[in-house]
Chains A and B, each alone.
Chain A
């Protein structure tokens, strides 16, 4: 039987061609090495010894693009995060390509829908990898991300996730986070307090039977400066009978750290609004994200105190790189999907671009044909070697954006932003 080898980067087309040729009585096979590794392709052709090669022209790997893959929820309840990542990453890729790419090599970004469902990741990952993904943004959310990190480890694919914040995401040496890991919020919050409130007395309200809350608190205390006096108050259970005692403990504090979720926080704020000083600050972690709308009947504008939480991006920024990003993003995609996820994805693309540029400057060779595994080794060396990057996330202070770096565990190290949900004494904006 005559042997025909199909070299085609469109997988649907390739399998259809194979079916037709097989129906016509040929031994047809598809070469699917991803075209990013010409040596492997040549080896396969040599091994197969075909009578005929059906070669596509303008194959992706050969025409000078570097493929970045990602997976995220583009439909379903969490789609606002996935769409933000897709939009912002595409925006960054377009900007880089317009400016001439990486030494003339263009970037290509593709993202598959995982509906925030971990069971879709095996298929998504296989599609991305077979399609020639050389480097990745991993996943947008944590649960699928825990699956993704295992698969990418097997093939040694480097990923830098914008927003999958579970502590275990960067478990292996090929995974990095641009967002704060859940457990690192405590340290980031303590750094904020050390920088801004040294010598003061602050309060903390935590939930003693919740590992999210106690985990952040312990790390917060470890990092907190000795000059800061800490008054601790705690509660437990899903419903709290009364915050009277806790309010009594915290009533002298002008700054109250709240590593808790927004439901008990809203109850505390309502009960404490007349007792805690009106110019006091409530400072939470990502558990307070959504407090404006999360509890029906709770109006943040009835609370005189300032409500804020730790974040890495200020979506209300009026100056600095964050403001520029907001302007560009809203012009292109509208304000509906503007959030910290998009900003982080934008930074991820530029951080990868910067790292690759630095590697090339160091004499490493990165081309459109560099395999994912080789690129992963190159990037690991850069990210572990004190690579520092300045983007749109992180703190903007004294007219300059602060930079971020990564530690050997893959966790990001950057200054947190105090995101103000509502300023002290603010009234509801007119509709």
Chain B
């Protein structure tokens, strides 16, 4: 049947099973918004700013595993998506961004709100399109969804010219091509299996790829079969339950001392869907020197990119582990006992008095296990990774690769829509101020989001680096804002509470977590707290700082 481009877009979104999209209308997407209005079956969430919409699509995708969709107009609408698209790109999150653009007769003439968003987003998308012919539109949209959610997942942008939105074409419904990853043959895993059998002290390093491929069950089964401790990158949190006896916490710059020690002592590292970023393999030459390293990754370019590996397996983590598991025998190893001892000793030593930490520990105790935890970026993000045990995959959203301050609130909105669960957003006063406009979106949509604002009146992480590397010259990191966040929340229609001392924690959190609508909790913490342990950039794991005085 004949349809105009804007209607074809809506039909294609429905083909893909899209029920919720995030976005913001404008001049060159008027026809798309008109088609949305006339169709009436897709839930469109309007944010305060396109960046928030992009992060929402990202958060939606992370918690559901389905592709998030964001729509923005040309020019500033499109450029406002850029940080959100880049965030999704760095963390391999499937997002399809749809932008309008001026009509073909206006293109290239620097028309009002015309921008080359395809050119701008080329390095931060898996692929992008400029659609100039309505007859190609349906297939472009189908291909975009397939690309976004297959292989190493990531964002795809479709720039649809105005004339395409109003132009007519024949529309034939199609069943979406499923993004299946190929089974990994046993032949590809023989060397890896042999090395694992021989290993005396194997350490499993689990990354975001394990979450993306929904391989949590296989990761745990593998750990139990090998009797190997599991360390996780920030992106991998949730792939192995934090309460699992073999789990030893996060690894890397702010990872646990246990993970660092075990990594040094291990004779074999099995990396599952992780790219040995500079926040994990801080010193890439020494990180795994002398060890057998096995890397399973779906992106060929990640093999040998940062850390040279002994054996590599190209493929989806779940597929690879499904093949690998029957090739291995159950074996007890004393290394798991070493891991448990280190972990117990570290936890005993780490009793914290810090108010912010206690808020997180208490929140984890009070909130159900399927609560979605979203963070912004900085000290509070690392504290969350350290003190809030993530028990399930796809319940933790954080900007790992790009480190996007301001990611959290938008992502929390998307995560709330995607999961239908209660969302805890842990943020800092620096990050929160970047995109606090989206609190109005959360209120409008009446979303069950509890915001734990770690208010230290400082850009804490940068300040910590100034303390460590710049001799306490706190250039621009002490925040002098006079904002009353409780009143702010109330003025936006949310509830606002404050935590000033330990006695406030339990009663306030109980109230907040029982509220099925946005609540902001202003946690007034010290401005001088550090994130520890810490390993300096470029340094080896043996130089880990666990005590600030000893640094």
Partners in one complex: no
Chain A interfacial positions (CB closer than 8 Å to B)? none
